[in-house]
Structure 1
Amino acid sequence: MAEVKLVHVAKAYENGPRVIRDATITVQDREFLVLVGPSGCGKSTLLRMIAGLEDITDGDLLIDGKRMNDVPPKDRDIAMVFQNYALYPHMTVYENMAFGLKLAGLPKDDIRQRVSRAAHLLEIDALLNRKPKDMSGGQRQRVAIGRAIVRNPKVFLFDEPLSNLDAKLRVQTRIELQKLHRELNATIIYVTHDQVEAMTLGDRIVVLRDGDVVQQDTPINLYNQPATQFVAGFIGTPPMNFVPGRLSETGPLHFTSKGGQVQIDLSNSQPEARLQAHRGKPITFGIRAEHLSEQPPAARSVHEQALAVEAVENMGNETLVYCPIDTGQLIARLPAGYATTFGQPIRLFWNLDKAHFFDAQTGQAI
C-alpha cells in the first residue's frame, strides 16, 4: 500500500475561479480517509486529481514520496470505483473483472486466481457468469469494487459509490466496505456527501467547503470538537442546535438570544474563561440534541428552558422533539416512547458542560 500526500494543491479551470484553493492532506499508509462536504465543495475534483483525471494547477501530489503530478493515470498504480459502476453491459461479471488484467497481459492462470479471490472476498462467486443487467444495484457495485481489487493497486479511490443504492443496502454495503478494508489492509480515499457514511467508515475525515479544507480529524473529534459552526452543523444527525445571541458586556457572564427568549447564566460554566474575550459581542450558542433532557443532567452547569412542542418524530429507539425558539428551532433527543402533542409545554434541561460557542462573524469555535 502507500502514503498519499497533497501539498498546497489547488485547481482552477481556464477563466474560472479556483475550485480547490489550497489543500494540504496526508493520507497515511493503510488509512481509510473520507473526503466529505456539500455538493460543489471540490471533493470529487480532489479525488480526480489524485487519480490523474484532472490536472493539478498548483502544489504537489506525492505517492510514497514520489511526485505524481505529471505521471499518466495508468502509471499511478491507483484503482478508482465510480458512482455509476461503469461496467461493460455485454460482458459477464468474470469478464468485467478480468478485462483490465487481460489488457495488462497477465497470464490466464493469474487472472483466474485474482478474480476468484476478489469474488470470494465480495461474496459474488455465484454471479461470475451473469451480466450486469441480471443483477441488483448492490451486486453491480460489488463487481465494480472487485474490478478494482484484482489490480492490487497501491491506493483505492471511491467516488460516492453508495449514492445509487437504497437506504437498507447502503447500510449493508458500508459494513462490507469496513470488512473489506480490514481484509485488504489498503489505503483508501473515499468521497461522499453523506456525513453518516463519513462517520461510520473513516479512520479520519476531511471536511471541505467551497474548495477549502475546513477541518480534518477523527470522526469522534469532529463530532465533539468542531472547529467551526459549519462543521458542527454538518457532522451529526440531527444537526447541532444553534441559537444566535450576545454575551453580556459587564457583570456576571450572561448569554441572551437574539430574540430574547433564551437567557443563560454562564458565570459558573466550564467555558466561562474562554468566553471573556467575547464580552459584548455577538456569538452563536450551540448544543446537540442529546444534551437536552427532561431531567436535570449530572453536570456542573445546567440551563432550564420552557418551550412549546411543534412536532414529534417517534423513531422507535428514540423520540425527536421539535420546539420553536426565537425565530429558529430546537431539536431534543428524548427517550423512546416519549408522548406529547403539538402545542404542549415542555421544560428542557440544557447540559452547558457540553455546549459549544462560535464567533458570529467568523464562524470559528471559541
Structure 2
Amino acid sequence: MANVTLTHIAKAYGNGPTVIRDVTIDVRDQEFVVLVGPSGCGKSTLLRMIAGLEDITSGDLLLDGKRINDLPPKDRDIAMVFQNYALYPHMTVFENMAFGLKLRNMAKADIRERVTQAARILEIENLLDRKPKDMSGGQRQRVAIGRAIVREPKVFLFDEPLSNLDAKLRGQTRIELQKLHRQLRATMIYVTHDQVEAMTLGDRIVVLRGGDVMQFDTPLTLYNRPANRFVAGFIGTPPMNFLPGQVRQVDGVRCFITAGVAMNIPITDVAQQTALTPYVGKLVTLGIRAEHLTVVSVNEQAVPLPVRIDALENMGNEALAYVTMGESRLVARLSPTDVLALAVGQSATLFLSTAHAHFFDDETELVIR
C-alpha cells in the first residue's frame, strides 16, 4: 500500500475564513488513522483534499514521497467511500461494483474475478444481482466499500460511512471494518464525529478543532495522557470531569482549592507537586475521569468530596452517578452494587483519586506535566 504525508497543509476559500490552518501528519503504510472532531472542525475538508476533491491552498501532500497536490483525483490511486453510499439505483450490486473497472476498459474476466473476491470478503455474494432499493442500509454500505476494494487502490478514504446506520448496525460494521483492514493490509484514513468509532477503529487518531490538530496519538494515549483540555473533554464517554480552582501552598504541601467549595485537595504525588510549583497562586483546572470517582477510598491519595446526587443511571454492567459539588457538576462511573447505596436528592461522599488527576493551565488549556 502507501504512506500519506501532509506537511503544513492549509485551506482557505477565497477571502473567507481559513478552515484548515497548519496540519502536519504522517500516515504510515497499512495504518488505520481516524480524523475526529466536532462539526465544522475541518476533518471532511482535509479528507477531500487528500482525495483531490478540494484544492490545497498551501503545504505539501505526499503519497509514497511523491507530491500529488496538483494530480487529478483519477490519477491518485485513492478510493473514497462516502457517507451517502452514492450507488447507481438502476444498476445491480455487481454492476455498481464493476462500473469503475469498466471505465478503465479492464477485461470482463478480470472484472468478474475482482468483484467476486470483494463480495466474498464482504459477505455479499448473494446480493450481486440485487438493486440498491432491495437492500438494507448496512448492505448498501458494504456495496460502496466493495466498489472501493475492487479498484485495489493505495489508500482508502472513508467519510463518516456509518452515520446513516442505527446504533446496533454501526457496532457490527465497526467490527467488519477492523477485519477488512487486517485482510487487505491497507492504508486507511477515516473521518467521524463519533469518538467511540475513533477509539475502537484507529491505530492512531487525529483530534481536530477549528482547523487545528489538537493531538495525534494512539487511542489509549489520548485517553490517559491528553495534551490539552479539549482532547480530555472530547475523548471518553462520559467526558472527563473538570474542577476549576487555584493552586496554593498549605503547610509545605501544594493544594488545589476548588471553586465554590471551601476545601483543599492535597497534591501529594511528587511529580505533580513539581509540575504545579510555578502555578502556586494561579488558577488551574483539575480533570478527573468518571472511573476515578469512587464510593470507597481506593488508596491513600483519595480525597473525600461532599456531593449531592442529582441522577442515577444503572445500566446493568455499570452505573453512572450525576452529582453536584458546589458549582461543579460531575459524573462518576460506579459498579451496579456501589450505586445501590446512593439515592437521588441526598448528600453523599465520593472519593477522588488524585493519583489519576490531570491539571490544565487556565490560559493555554494545555496539560501541566
Does TM, scored on the shorter chain, surpass 0.5?
yes
Alignment of 1:80-229 (within 5 A): 80-229=80-229
**Residue matched to 1:364:** 366
Contact 1:83–1:161 under 8 Å retained in 2:
yes
Instruction: Give 1:345 deviation, angstroms.
Output: 2.1
Alignment of 1:178-327 (within 5 A): 178-248=178-248, 251-268=252-269, 270-298=271-299, 301-327=301-327
Contact 1:87–1:144 under 8 Å retained in 2:
yes
**Residue matched to 2:73:** 73
Q: Secondary structure at the match of 1:253?
A: strand
Q: Secondary structure at the match of 1:236?
A: coil
User: Taking every aligned residue pair, what percent have the same amino acid on both sides?
Assistant: 66
One-letter identity of the residue aligned with 1:358 = F
1:353 aligns with 2:355: yes
**Residue matched to 1:25:** 25
> What's the C-alpha RMSD, in Å, of the aligned pairs?
1.1
One-letter identity of the residue aligned with 1:31 = E
CA distance in 2, matches of 1:322, 1:284: 19
Instruction: Give 1:344 deviation, angstroms.
Output: 2.0
Contact 1:118–1:146 under 8 Å retained in 2:
yes
Q: Secondary structure at the match of 1:248?
A: strand
Q: Secondary structure at the match of 1:59?
A: strand
Q: Closer, same or farther in 2 for the Cα pair 1:122/1:304, shift >3 Å?
A: same
Deviations 1:286-317 (A, max 9, x none): 0000011112113x522111211100011110
Unaligned runs of 5+ in 2: none
Instruction: Give 1:110 deviation, angstroms.
Output: 0.4
Instruction: Give 1:266 deviation, angstroms.
Output: 1.4
CA distance in 2, matches of 1:98, 1:327: 60
Instruction: Give 1:126 deviation, angstroms.
Output: 0.7
Contact 1:261–1:325 under 8 Å retained in 2:
no
One-letter identity of the residue aligned with 1:271 = Q
CA distance in 2, matches of 1:71, 1:200: 33
**Residue matched to 2:38:** 38
Instruction: Give 1:84 deviation, angstroms.
Output: 0.3
CA distance in 2, matches of 1:124, 1:26: 34
Contact 2:269–2:355 under 8 Å retained in 1:
no
Could you state the TM-score of these two structures normalised by the residue count of structure 1? 0.98
CA distance in 1, matches of 2:83, 2:327: 39
Deviations 1:325-355 (A, max 9, x none): 2223110111024223211222111111110
Instruction: Give 1:249 deviation, angstroms.
Output: 5.2
CA distance in 2, matches of 1:37, 1:234: 8
One-letter identity of the residue aligned with 2:51 = A
CA distance in 1, matches of 2:323, 2:59: 48
Instruction: Give 1:133 deviation, angstroms.
Output: 0.6
One-letter identity of the residue aligned with 1:348 = L
